[in-house]
């Protein structure tokens, strides 16, 4: 897993069938990357719902939330619509897990992303990272603490 102080690997992933999002598009803004195993799983559903509720708090720290899993863009769209999510879910679908691998959190045994969080500062460097057990929702406290630290700089 990539650690604090490392330049975050840039990527470009689909948010919709015809819209791609690049990490580098957010330079000048803090970014939260929430890698998760799969849409529709109970823990992932709860985790993404929590982040949806936390968006206003993240915005106070000039932070953009991005969810990433190896599910397809169509699966993400259905999941996002059903859960009424207001942040992009990015499909690390093909080549499968390429971005998860770049961040060191791809699980070869399951073929999914591990449950991992990264806070990336406005210059594109990793300011904080955390891996949670697959069955545990990591919550938002660590994210908020990392964002508050960035505000002090």
Just list the catalytic residues. 44
Return all residues near 72 (Cβ < 8 A) that are at least 6 apart: 91, 93
Specify which residues 129 forms β-bridges with.
118
CB-CB contact of 71 with 38 (8 Å)? yes
Tokens of 79: 């999941």
- Helix/strand/coil for 91: strand
């Amino acid at each position: 897993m990539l650690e604090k102080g490392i330049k975050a690997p840039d990527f470009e992933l689909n948010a919709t069938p015809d819209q791609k999002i690049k990490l580098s598009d957010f330079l000048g803004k803090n970014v939260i990357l929430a890698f998760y195993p799969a849409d529709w799983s109970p823990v992932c559903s709860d985790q993404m719902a929590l982040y949806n509720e936390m968006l206003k708090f993240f915005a106070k720290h000039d932070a953009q939330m991005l969810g990433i899993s190896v599910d397809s863009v169509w699966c993400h769209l259905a999941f996002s619509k059903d859960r009424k999510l207001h942040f992009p879910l990015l499909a690390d679908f093909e080549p499968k897990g390429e971005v998860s691998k770049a961040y060191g959190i791809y699980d070869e045994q399951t073929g999914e992303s591990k449950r991992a969080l990264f806070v990336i500062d406005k210059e594109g460097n990793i300011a904080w990272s955390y891996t949670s057990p697959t069955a545990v929702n990591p919550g938002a406290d660590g994210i908020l603490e990392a964002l508050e630290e960035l505000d002090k700089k």
